[in-house]
Amino acid sequence: MRVLLLGSSGQLGSDISRLWQGANLTLTTANRMAADVTDGEAVQALVEATRPDVVINTTAFHNLPICEQDPETCFRVNVVGGWNVARAAAQHGAVVVQFSTDYVFDGTKGSPYIEDDARQSVNVYGASKIATEDVVRQVNPEHLVVRVSGLYGLAGSAGKGGNFVETMLRLAREGNPINVVADQVTAPTNTAEIAEALLPLVLGGARGMIHLAAGEGCSWHTFASAIFEIAGLSPDLNAVTTEQLGGPVKRPTYSVLGTSRAPSLRPWRAGLERYMREKYG
């Protein structure tokens, strides 16, 4: 199977590049500099040159405050980019794998969201990903849309200057009080766990919509507490509400992803322990 991976330098793309191995697998990677998904002709040319069986699009514009300030760029990268990739794949007879997010949900369900639950976003980024899902499914019938949540990986997020784990560790080193919301519950997920779970699904011909996120949910405050516990740190960590913390972006209060279509990933703490082990030994 020939696979073209777009966004190979990001957190998820890096782990797919690192962990996807096999005699029957040929992986061609392209980072954002090599493949601008907003350039339809460039994407077409890349797909034509590599002739993949599967095109995986991990690119995304996901800095939430900037998405609110600049929705045009957010929609151009996510929606137009997703459309370009799905169309190019379809025209060359390839499957497209597109990533989406728990933020397509508004957080009012109160229990894990599964694949067929109704979507309703509370912010620009989530709205752009709803549209991305729709155009990908419309343009390429041979699609696999994968919703994920709370990503963190060894490569860090270029769009956010790291990831939540590294941000917490940096704040602990600085020695100032750390305020983290305790009323937003999600499922923080190690991108390595997603990469490993995705490979057999792609090789097995999975199609449609699936959720790949850490088992069980937790608040960001609980997640931060676990980071410090595993690292052996005791900073001044305070639980605050979303209202107390403030900020320009509305987020769902509960966006844990469950699944009825894919194997469940390990609990979030197992993924965090793996990350800390691989990152720091």
CATH no. for residue 167? 3.40.50.720
Taking alpha carbons only, the member of 161, 165, 148, 115 closest to residue 272 is 165
**Structural domain that includes position 198:** 2-280
User: What pLDDT is attached to residue 158?
Assistant: 58
Mean pLDDT in residue range 102-130? 97
In the 8-state DSSP scheme, what is residue 157? B
- What SS3 class is residue 48? helix
Radius of gyration of the chain (CA): 18
User: What pLDDT is attached to residue 34?
Assistant: 85
Active-site residue, 125 included: yes
Number of domains within the chain: 1
User: What pLDDT is attached to residue 159?
Assistant: 56
Mean pLDDT in residue range 219-232? 98
- What SS3 class is residue 178? strand
Q: Are 8 and 29 in contact (CB under 8 A)?
A: yes
Compute the distance between CA of residue 135 and CA of residue 87 in angstroms, rounded to an integer. 9
User: What pLDDT is attached to residue 104?
Assistant: 98
21, pLDDT greater than 90: no
- Length of the chain measured in residues: 281
Q: Which pLDDT tens digit goes with each residue over 156-210?
A: 765 556 899 999 999 999 999 999 999 999 999 999 999 999 999 999 999 999 9
Cα dihedral: 73, 128, 275, 215 (round 10): 170
The residue ranking higher by pLDDT, 276 or 32, is: 276
User: What pLDDT is attached to residue 87?
Assistant: 98
User: What pLDDT is attached to residue 157?
Assistant: 64
254, pLDDT greater than 60: yes
User: What pLDDT is attached to residue 116?
Assistant: 97
Q: Which pLDDT tens digit goes with each residue over 62-107?
A: 999 999 999 999 999 999 999 999 999 999 999 999 999 999 999 9
Residue 4 tokens, joined: 């073209």
Residues 18-27: contacts with CB under 8 Å, at least 24 apart: 18/192, 18/195, 19/192, 19/195, 19/196, 19/199, 20/195, 20/199, 22/199, 22/203, 24/203, 25/1, 25/203, 26/1, 26/2, 27/3
Average pLDDT, the chain: 95
User: What pLDDT is attached to residue 275?
Assistant: 97
Mean pLDDT in residue range 5-21? 95
118, pLDDT greater than 60: yes
Q: 246 pLDDT band (50/70/90 cuts)?
A: confident
The one catalytic residue among 103, 113, 125, 254 = 125
Residue 128 to residues 68, 72, 78, 179, Cα–Cα distance (Å): 11, 10, 6, 29
The pTM is what? 0.96
Lowest-confidence region among 18-22, 48-52, 163-167: 18-22
The residue ranking higher by pLDDT, 217 or 23, is: 217
User: What pLDDT is attached to residue 35?
Assistant: 87
Mean pLDDT in residue range 57-64? 95
- What SS3 class is residue 225? helix
